[in-house]
Structure 1
Amino acid sequence: MDKFFKISESGSTVKNEIFGGIATFLTMAYIIFVNPSILSSAIKVDGAYGALMVATILGGAVATLTMGLLANYPFALAPGMGLNAYFTYTVVMKMGVDWRVALGAVFIEGLIFILITLVGVRTYIANAIPHSIKIATSAGIGLFITFIGLKNAGIVVSDPATYLALGKITTPEALTTIIGLLIIAALYALRVPGSILIGILLATIFGAFVGITKFNGVFGPIPNIAPTFFKLKLTGASLIDPSFWVIVLTFFFVDFFDTTGTLMGLANSAGMTDKEGNLPRATKAYMADATGTSIGALFGTSTVTTYIESGAGIAQGARTGLASVVTAGLMLLMLFMSPLASSIPAAATAPALIFVGSLMIKNLKIIDWDDTTEGLPAFITLVMMPLTYSIATGITLGMIVYPIVKLFSGKAKDVHWLTWVLGFLFILYLIYLR
């Protein structure tokens, strides 16, 4: 084991790797409950929640095992927050795309990710997208999923006069969400491992006292994955539909840059980069992420991506893929806890959406807001995601505004030629296809 994972060579121990894997699992296990809760709003078939729970676990476990065994890194993967919301609330519910076709788009996005990783153009594409747009995209997704959490809890409601208003915060659902959010925030501030998961479970218990939690038990048989397994649909009509490729591009854009940022952030924090700041075995790490996305789509879940929560395991001393193997094993054990998952009400998962959303905006400070040519496109990207209820629209508008502002400010030379191409294509999309 030491020889295979190079544990001693990495300056770690088996104990560190095991405890690191456990720490990572505890901090990210909330996705096992949250992801089915979100996706089941779009995938309305009998047995969808249980099937989506299994898909979430299998998609994450397979990708995490691949990361551990192939790339030998302590990075865990699972369906990404934000991308599951885009899949549900924008692609399926707003655009009216069949959920099976949407899964097909996720599958294709994963294949594209695999292709550019194998061909070696990953760095070239990454350099073509403005840094401020990348940062704003992550933050905008954070605002978007926060809005969804507030909406699901009834804390924010529609209003005929002002469009949005504060809901009645004394309802059982709103109180459950507020209690859960306060618990998560307090535990996170105290650096308690698994703070989000603990908050969800305690909110669920509170929900039982106010009448919104129906406890179904803890352990039970593995749910049937048939309702979502291999249900993706790729038809000739969808493949020639430009709107389909806009969906694919959005999935790819968010997944690609989220993965790039997460991998480099985790690697830097653990001292895993080389003298040039590059990540050794980066191609294998990206392949684990990309293949996880396509495999996850076959199981029936939205895009699988690398989790920043892996930093909890790194903080415990994890430095090798053994930690990922431990995390994946714990994920698989959750297959037998479907009754517990089905007991958790939406009001108890809403705090996770709100809190994770708050974490996703912290990098906004990196943007040079004094430079209008950087700040305005970033701001447009940021605010238009929640205001239009669409991640794709935020990215589209930001990528259009960026080169135009640079051009009229005499800074056209700062814009990569591919950014110009994407901006032009997005304009055509808004005019003729949307």
Structure 2
Amino acid sequence: MMNGMIHKLDSAFQATKLSKFFQMEERDTKLSVEFRGALATFMSMSYILAVNPRILSDSGGPCVMDPDEGLFGAEYSACIEAVKREYITATAVASMFGCILMGLFANLPIALAPGMGMNAFFTYSVVGFRGLDDISFEAAVTAVMIEGAIFFVMAITGARYAIVRLIPEPVRVATPAAIGAFLAHLGLQTAEGIGVVVSDIATAVTLGGCPESMRTPIVALTDSCRANTDLCTTSDAYTCDDLGGVMTAGTTWVGVLGLLIIIIMLSYKNKAAFVVGIATITFLSWFRGTAITYFPDTLEGNDRFDYFKKVVSVEKIDLLFANFTSDLSDVTVALITFLYVDFLDTSGTLLGLVSAMGYVNEEGDFPRSKQAFAVDAAATMFGSIFGLSPVTSYIESGAGVEAGSRTGLTAIIVGFFFFLSIFFAPIIASIPPWAIGGALIVVGALMARSLRFVKWHDPAHAATAFLTVVVMPLTYSIAYGLIAGIGCWIVLQGTFYLLALVGVKRPSFALDEDIVPKETEDKDTDDENAKNMEDDSNDSGKDPVSGEEEKQEQP
């Protein structure tokens, strides 16, 4: 009966002007598929509503510290807590704005929100923990606005496209898999995942999964920390080496359960897998008095539960609104860094996700790319009005793409969910990270399919792609992964060119039958591989604008 109702609703929507506006028929999708994809995307990225306020409020925001009370004075701390609550509303409003614009103008199923990584850079590298660095909160916010404006001009003038076209082929091919590895890396850690991978003093990372009572925080041993241990800044980084308990945390194992639920349901081609997996673990984690509760009997757990019980709560944005300044004497480096990180992160994310849908052409561009990048920049400018770090396209949109999303209707529905979260922030902020981690890991695995097009028999092509994939998650930055791949390719091709000038023939490689099956040499088989890639991405194989058949790019 339910399937019949959904079918009728899909058919009714298909006959509307909205369906034509979003090119539902050309992209071979339905309203129910777009809604399911939107729900998967939103649930995969909803952690930003809790994580972003915590990170950005660490900057101190516009709060002014009383020198007599110090960094942890009661009045100053109370102001920061108020800023944290305001950031929940600010994050939701800016995300809603970006998602709706992306759906209306770019017609892509890509959601936007304040970027992870850039929010940490904003707080800990630009403003400093509770304003300890020299750049003021107001100057940093102004730098974000200027960065967004520059990015917008680059997008609408086509300068962005000219730069993106310079991205080497192996980097474009490897980008979806690299983003997938980055997603899986997030899903395996604690802040946004199941906590299997944790920090280690000797080896940087190691196996974790220890309960919270056995976690030893890792601090930044700065000069201020050496002088006064009260100023030692901690983060989500911790190790299990000191107290033990590796792989004994209930939250880790219930996160693994969510991972398995998603994989099993996907194996049976159930596209509600992401929604069911995340919702199941979230529901189990809301019971108090268990080893996996998100509301333990601690000060922090009680605060979470008290906020959760409110159900409906709208926080004002009085403190964060329009904190701009004309004093930009110290923000040059921050401005440049914001620009290049935002540019490369957005380029990598958009190209990777759109490539996974099969929409990237042989020139490395995709339909309405100018609008997509312009929307990203406009969202950053809009977010700066509310004191946010750059708003950017989210790699978690891959969850929706894998669930079948193909149009901007998905982004608009995600925007609507963010609108609801303005009112239901206590509920949305209570989705635990271990409920989300499994979805991120699965999406990462599915995005690795792009590696089939790497020319593994060509060392230069293979090394460039490989560096792109491994550097991105290991440095926790899409930008650094792209820089590593592009830099490697430039050095290698430059060396080959210089050697050719002195008579050394450029290297060339025939397919090695021991490595690559002989049939891949045949053009017909190459075309079939391209078709398979389109099928894997649930793509119709048509140009998303014209609806005509479009040739899949072959590396």
The TM-score normalised by the length of structure 2 is 0.60
Return the offset for 1:174. 1.6
Q: Report SS of the residue matched to 2:206.
A: strand
Whole-angstrom CA distance in 2 between matches of 1:369 and 1:96:
41
Letter in 1 for 2:312: G
Aligned: 1:79 with 2:113: yes
Whole-angstrom CA distance in 2 between matches of 1:234 and 1:139:
42
Whole-angstrom CA distance in 1 between matches of 2:313 and 2:498:
61
CA contact (8 A) 1:28 1:194 kept: no
Q: Structure 1 pair 185/233, CA: closer, same or farther in 2 (3 Å)?
A: farther
1:258 equivalent in structure 2: 349
Task: Pick one of 18, 25, 36 that aligns with 2:49.
Answer: 36
The within-5 A match list for 1:44-123 is 44=58, 45-47=80-82, 50-71=85-106, 73=107, 75-79=109-113, 83-84=115-116, 86-88=117-119, 92-93=123-124, 95=125, 98=128, 107-123=145-161
Letter in 2 for 1:222: V
Return the offset for 1:138. 4.5
CA contact (8 A) 2:179 2:352 kept: no
Letter in 2 for 1:113: F
Could you report, residue by residue, the CA deviation over 1:237-274 in whole angstroms, capped at 9, with x for unpaired residues?
Answer: 44422x652342122112024224534654749xxx9x
Whole-angstrom CA distance in 2 between matches of 1:301 and 1:190:
40
CA contact (8 A) 2:86 2:317 kept: yes
Could you report, residue by residue, the CA deviation over 1:297-328 in whole angstroms, capped at 9, with x for unpaired residues?
Answer: 4442543327445547866xx76x66654553
Could you report, residue by residue, the CA deviation over 1:81-124 in whole angstroms, capped at 9, with x for unpaired residues?
Answer: xx41x22556655x565485776665444333321222123332
The within-5 A match list for 1:281-360 is 281-299=368-386, 300=388, 302-305=390-393, 307-309=397-399, 311=401, 325-360=412-447
Return the offset for 1:220. 0.8
Whole-angstrom CA distance in 1 between matches of 2:363 and 2:172:
22
Letter in 2 for 1:164: V
Higher alpha-carbon deviation: 404-413 or 207-216: 404-413
Return the offset for 1:364. 2.4
Q: Report SS of the residue matched to 2:112.
A: strand
Q: Structure 1 pair 179/119, CA: closer, same or farther in 2 (3 Å)?
A: same
Q: Structure 1 pair 246/339, CA: closer, same or farther in 2 (3 Å)?
A: closer
Return the offset for 1:339. 1.9
Whole-angstrom CA distance in 2 between matches of 1:129 and 1:347:
35
Task: Pick one of 129, 138, 155 that aligns with 2:196.
Answer: 155
2:492 equivalent in structure 1: 405
Higher alpha-carbon deviation: 212-221 or 99-108: 99-108
Structure with the largest fraction of helix: 1
1:426 equivalent in structure 2: none
Whole-angstrom CA distance in 2 between matches of 1:184 and 1:217:
29
Aligned: 1:365 with 2:452: yes
The TM-score normalised by the length of structure 1 is 0.74
Q: Structure 1 pair 138/203, CA: closer, same or farther in 2 (3 Å)?
A: same
Return the offset for 1:378. 2.6
1:202 equivalent in structure 2: 280
CA contact (8 A) 1:110 1:252 kept: no
Aligned: 1:140 with 2:140: no
Return the offset for 1:41. 5.0
Q: Report SS of the residue matched to 1:254.
A: helix
Unaligned runs of 5+ in 1: 414-434
Whole-angstrom CA distance in 1 between matches of 2:293 and 2:202:
30
Q: Structure 1 pair 368/163, CA: closer, same or farther in 2 (3 Å)?
A: same
CA contact (8 A) 2:113 2:391 kept: yes
Aligned: 1:174 with 2:261: no
Whole-angstrom CA distance in 2 between matches of 1:383 and 1:9:
36
Whole-angstrom CA distance in 1 between matches of 2:428 and 2:19:
37
CA contact (8 A) 1:37 1:49 kept: no
1:126 equivalent in structure 2: 164
Whole-angstrom CA distance in 1 between matches of 2:491 and 2:109:
38
Q: Report SS of the residue matched to 1:7.
A: helix
Could you report, residue by residue, the CA deviation over 1:144-172 in whole angstroms, capped at 9, with x for unpaired residues?
Answer: 44334323144223344544332211212
Whole-angstrom CA distance in 1 between matches of 2:499 and 2:167:
14
Unaligned runs of 5+ in 2: 1-12, 59-79, 130-136, 209-245, 296-304, 501-555
State the structure with bigger RCO (CA 8 A, min sep 6), 1 or 2: 1
Letter in 2 for 1:400: G
Q: Structure 1 pair 235/138, CA: closer, same or farther in 2 (3 Å)?
A: farther
CA contact (8 A) 1:247 1:392 kept: no
Whole-angstrom CA distance in 2 between matches of 1:232 and 1:240:
15
Return the offset for 1:127. 1.2
